[in-house]
Amino acid sequence: MAEEKHEHEDHEADAHDDHGHDDHGHDDHHGHIQLQYEDALPIRNGKVCLWLFLSTEIMFFAGLIGTYIVLRFGAPVGTWPTPHDVHVNPNVGALNTVILIISSFTVVLGLEFAKADKRREAKLAMLVTFIFGLLFIGIKLINEYPAKFSHGIYPSSEGLIHEQSNVYYTAAVRDTLKGWGAEQAAPVAAADSATDEAAEGAETAPPPPVESDGIMSDEARSLIEKIYYGGAKWTEYVAAEKPDGLDARDTMMSLAQIIYPLDRNSHAFAHYIEHEREVIERLRETASESPRAVELQQLLEQRDALLAVVASLPKTEHGNKGVNDYLHEDLHFHHIMPIHIPSGNMWAGTYFLLTGFHALHVLVGLIMFICILLTPCGKKEYGLIENCGLYWHFVDLVWIFLFPLLYLF
């Protein structure tokens, strides 16, 4: 009994020292007696505490992942964006998974080396872990997040994502283009002052320059004009003509599809464009009788021009490239038009919530590894390395679930 107690005391004292970094209180152990304790769990106090902390972390991520699951599967049927819709690249996600797996493995190696007091090897293993952790964060910050941001995909109450391609969406596109100076100081406005928009347009001349450096290529300017007249204004005109609300919605969907194509709408869009030829023909025949003849004439011309441009846009595996992407990538235009992604705001919210908190945990882990690398990484640091390792494995664990949920579902 006495011997057992003694061993236990050793173990206790050791536990305190092992965990010295967050346990300075025991520095001032002078001045009172060293108490002995009842036999308890055969593990260090630091490890008990860390496991308890991990349980709280499990609940934290359960709350977050649960939120994602119910919002994702509770979204109106068929609206949740596919990975391609929102520029999620499963290959990059898989790469990051493998990176975390390797780093988890090297932590285990480091722990084994530390146990055997092989300091150099242990340090090397921890360094590799640190580098892989850094790589994970790097891929997030250099590749993954910018891919979303550059397409306007981020949660925001004044953001570019529209849940529906309705009249509000069309108006937002029209206003954005107008803000870029898409409206010509053209005869259309003067001749057709009966319409409200035209009157409005006449008031807001001259158009402000958009690019802060004042450079907008002629190609970009002409494309923006085409979308303004042949896209936004055309859509508003045609939608207003259509008695059936669902038909009008298809028209507005076509505008959204031109700007930012979604896979799921590509069939419907192709079908709609076929069908639109007839509408255009009919309108063209009756254009002269319309009270807004001049405006309609211009809209028809620009519509034709826009559809021609869209048809000539580079092909992707899912159809044509969107005008937003074309302007951004090929014409080096820095701004983006509002986009239509059903449940897009919720997708962005949950995606950044989950990956953001995970990345935050990775960052904390990296700080821990820096602290470890500053120590000799010997047998003395076994407890420290073990605790950080457990934490790091937990971070890996969370990613194991986030990867399929966010990248493959």
Q: Interacting stretch for other proteins, rule CB under 8 A, among 30-38, 225-233, 293-301, 363-371?
A: 30-38
Cα distance between residue 113 and residue 346, in whole Å:
45
Rg of the chain's alpha carbons, rounded to an integer?
Answer: 31
| 409 Cβ contact partners less than 8 Å away, ≥ 6 residues apart | 72
SS3 243: coil
Among 76, 206, 208, 214, binds other proteins (CB under 8 A): 76
Other CB atoms within a 10 A radius of the CB of residue 91 amount to 8
Cα distance between residue 270 and residue 254, in whole Å:
9
Q: Is 202 in the site for other proteins (CB under 8 A)?
A: no
Measured from the CB atom, the residue of 47 and 284 that comes closer to other proteins is: 47
Q: Is 28 in the site for other proteins (CB under 8 A)?
A: yes
SS3 96: helix
**What angle (nearest 5°) sits at the alpha carbon of residue 346, between those of residues 340 and 348?**
80
What track of x and - describes contact with other proteins for positions 127 through 166 (by CB under 8 A)? ----------------------------xxxxx---xx--
Specify whether the CB–CB gap between 151 and 337 falls below 8 A: no
Near other proteins in 292-331, by CB under 8 A: none
**What angle (nearest 5°) sits at the alpha carbon of residue 165, between those of residues 162 and 166?**
110
Measured from the CB atom, the residue of 201 and 342 that comes closer to other proteins is: 342
Q: Interacting stretch for other proteins, rule CB under 8 A, among 194-202, 208-216, 289-297, 345-353?
A: 345-353
Among 144, 183, 192, 250, binds other proteins (CB under 8 A): 250
Q: Is 376 in the site for other proteins (CB under 8 A)?
A: no
Near other proteins in 32-61, by CB under 8 A: 32-45, 48-49, 51-61
C-alpha dist (Å) from residue 384 to 43, 63, 136, 140: 13, 29, 23, 28
Specify whether the CB–CB gap between 137 and 366 falls below 8 A: yes
Q: How far is the CB of 237 from other proteins (least distance, A)?
A: 21
Identify residue 283 by its one-letter amino acid code: L
Q: Is 75 in the site for other proteins (CB under 8 A)?
A: yes
C-alpha dist (Å) from residue 140 to 137, 146, 361: 5, 8, 13
Q: How far is the CB of 311 from other proteins (least distance, A)?
A: 22
Near other proteins in 88-107, by CB under 8 A: 90, 94, 97-98, 101-102, 104-105, 107
Nearest to 324 by CA among 105, 150, 155: 150
Measured from the CB atom, the residue of 37 and 149 that comes closer to other proteins is: 37
| 386 Cβ contact partners less than 8 Å away, ≥ 6 residues apart | 47, 111
Among 167, 186, 331, 353, binds other proteins (CB under 8 A): 353
Measured from the CB atom, the residue of 23 and 219 that comes closer to other proteins is: 23
Identify residue 111 by its one-letter amino acid code: L
Buried b (16+ CB within 10 A) or exposed e, 103-124: bbebbebbbebbeeebbebbbb
Q: How far is the CB of 360 from other proteins (least distance, A)?
A: 10
Q: Interacting stretch for other proteins, rule CB under 8 A, among 67-75, 129-137, 187-195, 321-329?
A: 67-75
Among 219, 352, 363, 375, binds other proteins (CB under 8 A): 352
Q: How far is the CB of 149 from other proteins (least distance, A)?
A: 13
Among 342, 361, 385, 387, binds other proteins (CB under 8 A): 342
Among 87, 89, 115, 195, binds other proteins (CB under 8 A): 115
Q: How far is the CB of 63 from other proteins (least distance, A)?
A: 3
